[in-house]
């Protein structure tokens, strides 16, 4: 999720530059700002006691701001750690290519979200974000 955010920021900056809305100096300033935000995002995960993998799933689960307001941070961290461990234990190399395996992962994520009483109105989005993050995770670890 964080990678997507940084990619979008970079894309927006370059788009504005190509359209002539910002100059070279402003592009460099925005790139430097992004370079400072990346370690800050990593540090935020460390402060929560999360590994980089866990931080990625934390970001997927807390993408809607309302979720952060709904839970205590300790609950979110516990949910994230359990989710990451569950996905790690049920992860197969090609799970996202086989519909039956993908359905199983969705079922596991849905069950975990239900266990933690995740807000139903954002459950589907969270599930999609988690599975998308899991696909990135598998690609990066293979």
pLDDT per residue as tens digits for the range 11-37:
888 888 889 998 999 989 988 888 888
pLDDT at 75: 92
Within this chain, do residues 88 and 73 fall inside the same structural domain, yes or no? yes
Residues with Cβ within 8 Å of 27's Cβ and at least 6 positions away in sequence, in order, are: 13, 14, 17
Are 76 and 102 within one domain? yes
The angle subtended at Cα 133 by Cα 55 and Cα 67, nearest 5°, is 60
Kindly report, residue by residue over 113-127, the tens digit of the pLDDT.
Answer: 999 999 888 888 888
Tell me, yes or no, whether 57 and 40 share the same domain. no
Q: Are residues 73 and 137 in the same domain?
A: yes
Q: Give me the number of domains the chain comprises.
A: 2
Whether 42 and 67 map to the same domain: the answer is no
Taking residues 49-75, report their average pLDDT. 85
Q: Which of 27, 47, 67 is the last residue of a domain?
A: 47
Domain hosting 91: range is: 51-142
In a shared domain, residues 39 and 69: no
Q: Which residue has the higher pLDDT, 38 or 116?
A: 116
End position of a domain, from candidates 29, 47, 65:
47
End-to-end CA distance of the chain: 19
Q: Residue 93 pLDDT > 70, yes or no?
A: no
**pLDDT at site 1:** 56
Does 59 lie in the same domain as 30? Answer: no
In SS3 terms, 26-65 reads as HHHHHHHHHHHHHHHHHHHHHHCCCCHHHHHHHHHHCCCH
The reply to whether the predicted model has a pTM over 0.85 is no
The pLDDT value recorded for residue 80 is 92
Say yes or no: 64 and 17 in one domain.
Answer: no
The Cα 75–Cα 94 span in angstroms is: 31
């Amino acid at each position: 999720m964080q990678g997507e955010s940084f990619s979008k920021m970079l894309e927006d900056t370059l788009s504005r530059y190509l359209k002539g809305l910002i100059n070279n100096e402003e592009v460099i300033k925005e790139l430097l700002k992004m370079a400072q935000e990346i370690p800050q995002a990593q540090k935020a995960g460390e402060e929560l006691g999360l590994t980089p993998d866990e931080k990625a799933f934390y970001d997927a689960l807390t993408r809607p701001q309302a979720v952060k307001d709904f839970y205590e941070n300790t609950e979110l961290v516990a949910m994230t750690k359990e989710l990451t461990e569950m996905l790690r234990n049920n992860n197969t190399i090609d799970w996202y290519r086989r519909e039956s395996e993908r359905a199983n992962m969705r079922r596991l994520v849905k069950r975990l979200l239900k266990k933690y009483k995740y807000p139903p109105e954002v459950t589907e989005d969270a599930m999609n974000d988690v599975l998308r993050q899991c696909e990135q995770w598998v690609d990066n670890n293979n």
